[in-house]
Amino acid sequence: MKHFALLAALGLAAAGATYAAGPQGGGQDFMARLKKADTNGDGMISRDEAAKSLPRISQHFDEIDTNHDGQITNEELQAFHQKAGSKREERAAERFKRLDTDGDGRLSRAEAQAGAPRLAEHFDEIDANKDGFITPDELKAAREKHRAQK
């Protein structure tokens, strides 16, 4: 049974790394926090364990705990992270579409300046191929680079 609990804890920690690779970053730190939060060593995070040391997980506990058993498993944490990532991607695509006023699938410097001044400040850095436009792929690559640097 101890062996199973250890494997479950490691699986939960791996899920935590996946979860932490999202916007908040800090995968290794989050894995350690997740393992430390599992005070009974069962490889799952209870509502009480989350409330004591994992405020973001605690805040979303009911959404993460899809089977509503009062425990968050590796699979539930991974599914939540994937769902949250999909929602972020959808919002980013919608925002890009709103900024792309001429509908050509790319942002000119003028479009960025008109709708996203902070984006315009970093235009040259994001425009990887230096063609004077930012594509969704260039913007995604810039976001990923920024997250990795955090």
55 shares a domain with 23: yes
- Stretch among 4-13, 31-40, 73-82, 113-122 having the lowest mean pLDDT: 4-13
Task: Measure the CA–CA gap between 54 and 50, rounded to whole angstroms.
Answer: 5
Last residue within a domain, chosen from 59, 84, 109: 84
Find the CATH number of the domain harbouring 111.
1.10.238
> Does residue 120 fall inside a structural domain?
yes
CB 10 within 8 A of CB 74: no
Residue 114 has pLDDT above 70, yes or no: yes
- Per cent of the chain over pLDDT 70 is 82
Residues 8 and 46 in one domain: yes
Count of domains in the chain? Answer: 2
Mean pLDDT of 54-83: 93
Q: Residue 12 pLDDT more than 60? A: no
Global confidence as pTM: 0.57
Task: Please check whether residues 62 and 110 belong to one and the same domain.
Answer: no
- Burial of residue 12 (CB within 10 Å: 0-12, 13-18, 19+) is buried
**Residue 37 structural domain:** 2-84
**Same-domain check for residues 80 and 109:** no
pLDDT at site 136: 94
